[in-house]
Chains A and B, each alone.
Chain A
């Protein structure tokens, strides 16, 4: 009996250990920044041919657009559905998709779209204004994970091929975010509801849904009546979820799959020089940082002094961390705006490693011998981030800043984000934040929005003013200028120890042409073909 209980306890320990490996789901939504593209050197076929097999690191949770909780789900959905607008993954510009023309009202509260005529859904039904209405109607059903994103938009039908979209609050990124609202068929929604879309999604996209054998394969077939002349270029797309990265590495070498992603730098290195395999690298639009807190646990701590925060930025050797842990494969951050974001200020250089300067600043602030402060980091959330945190703590110790309890408080990521949302983490905590709308605004507001934002631990009236101004400036040039000013301010008054933006590694078979993922791992497979 005892032996059996022990056996069950053993099994539970395995369960616990696996839970610690959980990774966070990346945010969904539209996005896109230009990245290097392997230019096609063979001519594209005149009609769809061949079977393209794409490995996914995980099985999508759902392929009903308002339920897609992770990037991989979004990538399957993007091949089945169209949106009103799409992003050119090479130039990073907004492009018409189902809406060839649009106008925006002065105040940014009304968006009028002319809809493309003659477009058909996979079930043969024609596309018109009613489908846009149905999309938001279906999306805001509370059964969906992202219902509130749909509930915030009102749709007004002007005529069969003209609609007005009205966001409930002014949103400068609204146009860009529309890339993430995939248009469903009103006919299907009326007949089958969300449950029907969940099992048999019908879109107007380049590929139609054939079959989903959960955990094994998702099969899509070229849609002959696709409105974009000459697309798609492959006859079939098959997505194969392969959770284990070593297995993905094997499958690309055997040619069982054509595209694999989410590789570490080390894993990518093993593919160098492998016959028939090419590596693709691009910087991710994700900033890693150690956050300060001036709302709860950090009140009254030395980190409220700007000189201390500057000192801590000087104290960390980012380059050494990135070199030793990522083989140099990351971009050092000088702020919260990345090169892929609107208004990026390239003149700002990352804080240099200067422990002398750090000590001097600390002395000036009245802490010549440093101080002791609490720090926390998540476990199992990000590649090597535990080691990054440890390295940061060691650099801080070199200038006299030691940790409360003598060590970093490492927490399992689920518990970590729970405590982060309650603002209960220690005054220093590590994390990262992506941005999927081509601008840093969501990242900035999310991490610096003060009390009203659940994951923010920082409030600075000057930053608040900038964020308010950016959020209400619909002119793109003017907004870019505001981002530049804010970067300069946040460089001098750092609310974070800025760390790095990682580089993403993917691998493709050499036969794959026209594959261009953007900095948030999104891609459109209608441009992809197989050269034989």
Chain B
């Protein structure tokens, strides 16, 4: 178990270093940050040069890279040019909003998907199953940004029930969370349904049934427990997808979370913020995957003994 976790940890660190290298170089492919920080119609060549020197952009790229890696290892994510604040402060101001939004979306997804998936799985071929399959398909096929605009049009513009943008209270999160959850709903319905479908044909279910256990006990102790193994791994991955989806959703709904911030950083060529934010999101994703693996191995002894 310990050896397994250590190995996973090593892999994760390697992955993060890879992300660091990629982000650093890709950000620098998009052009001169100094030229974009000062409006072209207004800046003189001297101003541009001053800016480059001040930002350390005149040093050789490998020097910049080593400096950046050193800073990151010391926990210093740099200074955001756009927000004129340390990146760490900027991220921690936006993180709670994105976590709230993603968690809400996940809650919606689980609440809708698990019952629907179980109902579909236990009675394959029924109309309930058809409904589950339809929701699964539509959920996965619907683009979140499209759904977001439709939701705004229906619930904000036409019905006037909910705000179309911004953060003005709990009700501001309802439309964004629904729009964000749609992909997760789709995948979780399908997954729950197929897991239940598979398990209900297993020998031990037949045994349980022949022992005379009630359908409820079978459902809870045998089907649900085993289906949850499949779900746990996907829920973790889905959570990272939700964080990524927030890039669109937060921009559409004007919600100042991590996704909005990444968009803002990219638009303003705040390369320090782009690289640190991407690294932060990558770290977050890796941690979730690591946590998933741990939970997975607790739920399924076969994995930790492998």
**Chain A residues close to B by CB (< 8 Å):** 1, 4-5, 7-9, 11-12, 14-16, 18-19, 21-29, 58-59, 61-62, 67, 69-70, 142, 145-146, 148-149, 198, 213-217, 240-244, 246-247, 250-251, 253-254, 256, 412-418, 421, 433-436, 442-443, 446, 453-455
Nearest residue in B to A436 (C-beta to C-beta)? B41
A243, B254: Cβ atoms closer than 8 Å? yes
Known A1-B11, A247-B164, A412-B30: A241·B254 in contact at CB below 8 Å:
yes
Beyond the given pairs A59-B256, A146-B38, 8 more chain A to chain B contacts, judged by CB atoms under 8 angstroms and listed by A's residue number, are A8-B19, A8-B285, A24-B40, A215-B256, A242-B166, A243-B260, A415-B30, A453-B45
A256, B19: Cβ atoms closer than 8 Å? no
B263 proximal to A (CB < 8 A): yes
* Cα separation A22 to B256 with both chains bound (whole Å): 18
A70, B166: Cβ atoms closer than 8 Å? no
A454, B269: Cβ atoms closer than 8 Å? no
Contact of A247 among B22, B84, B254, B260 (CB under 8 A): B254
A414, B37: Cβ atoms closer than 8 Å? no
B35 proximal to A (CB < 8 A): yes
8 pairs from A and B in contact (CB 8 Å cutoff): A5-B18, A8-B15, A22-B267, A22-B269, A26-B39, A215-B254, A416-B31, A418-B35
Chain B: minimal CB distance from A168 (Å): 13
B30, A19: Cβ atoms closer than 8 Å? yes
- B204: A residues at CB distance < 8 A: none
B163 proximal to A (CB < 8 A): yes
B234 proximal to A (CB < 8 A): no
- B22: A residues at CB distance < 8 A: 8-9, 12
B156 proximal to A (CB < 8 A): yes
Chain A: minimal CB distance from B172 (Å): 10
B264, A242: Cβ atoms closer than 8 Å? no
A15, B26: Cβ atoms closer than 8 Å? yes
- B94: A residues at CB distance < 8 A: 215
B157 proximal to A (CB < 8 A): yes
- A434: B residues at CB distance < 8 A: 41
Contact of A250 among B45, B47, B152, B285 (CB under 8 A): B152
* Cα separation A1 to B262 with both chains bound (whole Å): 25
B11, A414: Cβ atoms closer than 8 Å? no
* Cα separation A77 to B289 with both chains bound (whole Å): 45
- Interface-central residue, A11, A28, A213, by most chain B CB under 10 Å: A11
A256, B163: Cβ atoms closer than 8 Å? yes
B264, A69: Cβ atoms closer than 8 Å? no
B165, A242: Cβ atoms closer than 8 Å? yes
A247, B165: Cβ atoms closer than 8 Å? yes
Known A15-B26, A22-B266, A247-B164: A433·B260 in contact at CB below 8 Å:
no
Which positions 30-65 of chain B face chain A at CB distance < 8 Å?
Answer: 30-33, 35-48, 50-51, 54
B84, A216: Cβ atoms closer than 8 Å? no
A8, B282: Cβ atoms closer than 8 Å? yes
B83 proximal to A (CB < 8 A): yes
- B253: A residues at CB distance < 8 A: 244, 247
Which positions 128-167 of chain B face chain A at CB distance < 8 Å?
Answer: 149, 152-153, 156-157, 160, 163-167
* Cα separation A216 to B21 with both chains bound (whole Å): 33
Contact of B45 among A1, A413, A421 (CB under 8 A): A421
- B153: A residues at CB distance < 8 A: 250
Contact of A454 among B37, B45, B256 (CB under 8 A): B45
* Cα separation A454 to B45 with both chains bound (whole Å): 6
Known A12-B26, A254-B156, A414-B32: A145·B37 in contact at CB below 8 Å:
yes
- B32: A residues at CB distance < 8 A: 414-415, 417-418, 421
- A15: B residues at CB distance < 8 A: 26, 262, 266, 274, 278
A-B pair count, CB < 8 Å, reads 187
Chain A: minimal CB distance from B268 (Å): 7
Known A14-B247, A22-B266: A214·B256 in contact at CB below 8 Å:
yes
- B11: A residues at CB distance < 8 A: 1
* Cα separation A455 to B32 with both chains bound (whole Å): 14
B39, A24: Cβ atoms closer than 8 Å? yes
- A69: B residues at CB distance < 8 A: 37-39
B39, A22: Cβ atoms closer than 8 Å? no
B256, A27: Cβ atoms closer than 8 Å? no
Known A22-B266, A24-B39, A27-B42: A418·B164 in contact at CB below 8 Å:
no
B30, A198: Cβ atoms closer than 8 Å? no
B48, A414: Cβ atoms closer than 8 Å? no
- A14: B residues at CB distance < 8 A: 244, 247
- B262: A residues at CB distance < 8 A: 15, 18
- A61: B residues at CB distance < 8 A: 82, 84, 268
How would you classify the secondary structure of chain B's contact residues: helix, strand, loop or mixed? helix
B205 proximal to A (CB < 8 A): no
* Cα separation A453 to B43 with both chains bound (whole Å): 10
* Cα separation A242 to B155 with both chains bound (whole Å): 18
* Cα separation A453 to B11 with both chains bound (whole Å): 51
Known A27-B39, A61-B82, A215-B261: A19·B266 in contact at CB below 8 Å:
yes
* Cα separation A11 to B35 with both chains bound (whole Å): 26
Chain B: minimal CB distance from A264 (Å): 16
Known A62-B84, A243-B254, A433-B41: A256·B165 in contact at CB below 8 Å:
yes
- B255: A residues at CB distance < 8 A: 215-216
Which positions 229-254 of chain B face chain A at CB distance < 8 Å?
Answer: 244, 247, 251-254
- Interface-central residue, B45, B166, B252, by most chain A CB under 10 Å: B166
* Cα separation A241 to B166 with both chains bound (whole Å): 8
A21, B267: Cβ atoms closer than 8 Å? yes
B254, A242: Cβ atoms closer than 8 Å? yes
Chain A: minimal CB distance from B88 (Å): 15
- B213: A residues at CB distance < 8 A: none
- Interface-central residue, B18, B23, B256, by most chain A CB under 10 Å: B256
- Interface-central residue, A22, A250, A412, A421, by most chain B CB under 10 Å: A250
Contact of A214 among B43, B83, B274 (CB under 8 A): B83
- B83: A residues at CB distance < 8 A: 214
- B42: A residues at CB distance < 8 A: 27-29, 146, 149
Nearest residue in A to B149 (C-beta to C-beta)? A246
B26, A16: Cβ atoms closer than 8 Å? yes
B39, A70: Cβ atoms closer than 8 Å? yes
B9 proximal to A (CB < 8 A): no
Contact of B31 among A9, A241, A256, A415 (CB under 8 A): A415
Contact of A254 among B157, B254, B263 (CB under 8 A): B157
Chain A: minimal CB distance from B39 (Å): 4
Chain A: minimal CB distance from B197 (Å): 24
- A253: B residues at CB distance < 8 A: 157
B166, A217: Cβ atoms closer than 8 Å? yes
B15, A5: Cβ atoms closer than 8 Å? yes
B93 proximal to A (CB < 8 A): yes
A454, B44: Cβ atoms closer than 8 Å? yes
A25, B26: Cβ atoms closer than 8 Å? no
Nearest residue in A to B241 (C-beta to C-beta)? A7
- A454: B residues at CB distance < 8 A: 43-45, 48
A216, B256: Cβ atoms closer than 8 Å? yes
- B50: A residues at CB distance < 8 A: 142, 148
- B166: A residues at CB distance < 8 A: 216-217, 240, 242, 256
B84, A198: Cβ atoms closer than 8 Å? yes
- B269: A residues at CB distance < 8 A: 22, 414
A25, B45: Cβ atoms closer than 8 Å? no
- Interface-central residue, A23, A443, A446, by most chain B CB under 10 Å: A446
What are the 3 tightest A-B residue pairs by CB atom distance, in nearest-first order? A414-B31, A215-B256, A27-B41
* Cα separation A415 to B254 with both chains bound (whole Å): 28
* Cα separation A18 to B268 with both chains bound (whole Å): 11
- A418: B residues at CB distance < 8 A: 31-32, 35
